[in-house]
Amino acid sequence: MKKPPTIRDVAAAAGVSVSVVSRVLNPESGPVAPAKRETVLRVIEELAYRPRAAARELSVGSTPTVGLVVADLANPFFAQLADRIVWEARSHGVQVMVMTTQEDPHLEADSLDTLLDRSVAGVIATPTGANIEKWARLQSMGVDVVFVDRTIPELGNVDVVSIANVDSARRATEYLLSLGHKRIGLISGPVTTSTGRARIEGYQSAHETYSVSMDPQLIRDVPFRGEGGGDAVGSLLALPERPTGLIVANTAQVQSSVRRLIQTGVQIPEDLSVIVFDDNPWTELTTPPLSVLRQPIDMLAVHSLELVLGRMQGKLPSTPRVIEVNADFVPRSSCSPLLLTPSR
């Protein structure tokens, strides 16, 4: 319980001034005679001295730490994203403060305040979509902001890393259309989010390409939280003209949607061809294994971290970067041609 040594303790033990010790600690900040450097390093070792982060932060004004504001760690997509980002950051010698918003704008606002208090130099976030002025304020304080997976179009000057949402939704839809399906249900995220809108757009675009008319009843936008996916599945299946295909484009609702499908005993793919967004590990453990759009989580993590670090070091041009990575479509056994279904 005795207090840890300070830089002055080290200086005294090594018979030099604190300036010298500090210069040994940060080699770029000035010259030190090789002999003294040696001595100082030895003393540091002996005393097991470690500089206190708070002191350095206070005097330097910021800290090589990035905040990670993620919606929900209980969602495997975000959890894996966080895991990769934390891992990647460590290899760059950067700390990560992980915060969760549970999709609640108030909690998001809290998180941003906290990160501001801790003087983080950069933030990687999956924004809820609200708190626009708060994000702007953060930027105006010199904090570099990178959005990942989603974005807020109203906010300029933000780097964004996401999957090609329009294209991904289009490909999934076109795949089902090419199998002959005409009525395809879509469960997407809220239209208030960029991903929700983009995926609906891709869905529509595919219908135009195939000259298939589109029934707006088949599009359901549901919140990220809660069991909305299951309910949407229920009501889609209850339609007089039941869909023969289903795309679950809301990653947070895949579980509840699939659970409902299983509960209601729908035969997949005989009664319903299914594609879900995001390749959670269990999607190939179901019967049948589900066709998925796999989001390249590693790419998202690497790019977002690269961007935020690049900004922090001022190595990037000031124009905002938008990086879109392609998602892989992984066909499995949950889709079949409509032809197989006898007219009902």
Residues that bind a second copy (CB under 8 A): 1, 4, 50-55, 57-58, 63, 72-74, 76, 79-80, 82-83, 86-87, 90, 95-100, 102, 107, 110, 113-114, 116-119, 140-142, 255, 258-259, 262, 280-282, 284-287
Q: Which does 331 bind (CB under 5 to 8 A by kind): DNA, a second copy, none?
A: none
> ω into residue 281 within 30 of 0, thus cis?
no
Q: Which does 100 bind (CB under 5 to 8 A by kind): DNA, a second copy, none?
A: a second copy
Q: Which class for 125: exposed (0-12), middle (13-18), buried (19 or more C-beta within 10 A)?
A: buried
Least separation in angstroms between residue 200's CB and a second copy is 26
Q: Which does 26 bind (CB under 5 to 8 A by kind): DNA, a second copy, none?
A: DNA
Q: Which is nearer to a second copy, 180 or 289 (CB)?
A: 289
Q: Which residues bind DNA (CB under 7 A)?
A: 3, 6-8, 15-20, 22-23, 25-26, 29-36, 49-52, 55-56, 58-61
Q: Which does 292 bind (CB under 5 to 8 A by kind): a second copy, DNA, none?
A: none
Q: Which is nearer to DNA, 140 or 343 (CB)?
A: 140
CB 124 within 8 A of CB 305: yes
Q: Which does 178 bind (CB under 5 to 8 A by kind): DNA, a second copy, none?
A: none
Q: Which is nearer to a second copy, 142 or 337 (CB)?
A: 142
Q: Which does 118 bind (CB under 5 to 8 A by kind): a second copy, DNA, none?
A: a second copy
Least separation in angstroms between residue 15's CB and a second copy is 25
Q: Which is nearer to a second copy, 39 or 114 (CB)?
A: 114
| Residue found under tokens 């708060």 | 134
**Reduced 3-state DSSP string for the chain:** CCCCCCHHHHHHHHCCCHHHHHHHHCHHHCCCCHHHHHHHHHHHHHHCCCCCHHHHHHHHCCEEEEEEEECCCCCHHHHHHHHHHHHHHHHCCCEEEEEECCCCHHHHHHHHHHHHHCCEEEEEECCCCCCHHHHHHHHHCCCEEEEECCCCCCCCCCEEEEECHHHHHHHHHHHHHHCCCCCEEEEECCCCCHHHHHHHHHHHHHHHHCCCCCCHHHEEECCCCCCHHHHHHHHHHCCCCCCCEEEECCHHHHHHHHHHHHHCCCCCCCCCEEEEECCCHHHHCCCCCCEEEECCHHHHHHHHHHHHHHHHCCCCCCCCCEEEECCEEECCCCCCCHHHCCCC
Least separation in angstroms between residue 174's CB and a second copy is 27
Q: Which is nearer to a second copy, 140 or 213 (CB)?
A: 140
Q: Which is nearer to DNA, 7 or 302 (CB)?
A: 7
Least separation in angstroms between residue 279's CB and a second copy is 13
Q: Which does 74 bind (CB under 5 to 8 A by kind): a second copy, DNA, none?
A: a second copy
Q: Which is nearer to a second copy, 110 or 328 (CB)?
A: 110
Q: Which does 30 bind (CB under 5 to 8 A by kind): a second copy, DNA, none?
A: DNA
Least separation in angstroms between residue 33's CB and a second copy is 27
> Alpha-carbon torsion 275, 165, 220, 342, what sign?
negative
Q: Which is nearer to DNA, 55 or 74 (CB)?
A: 55
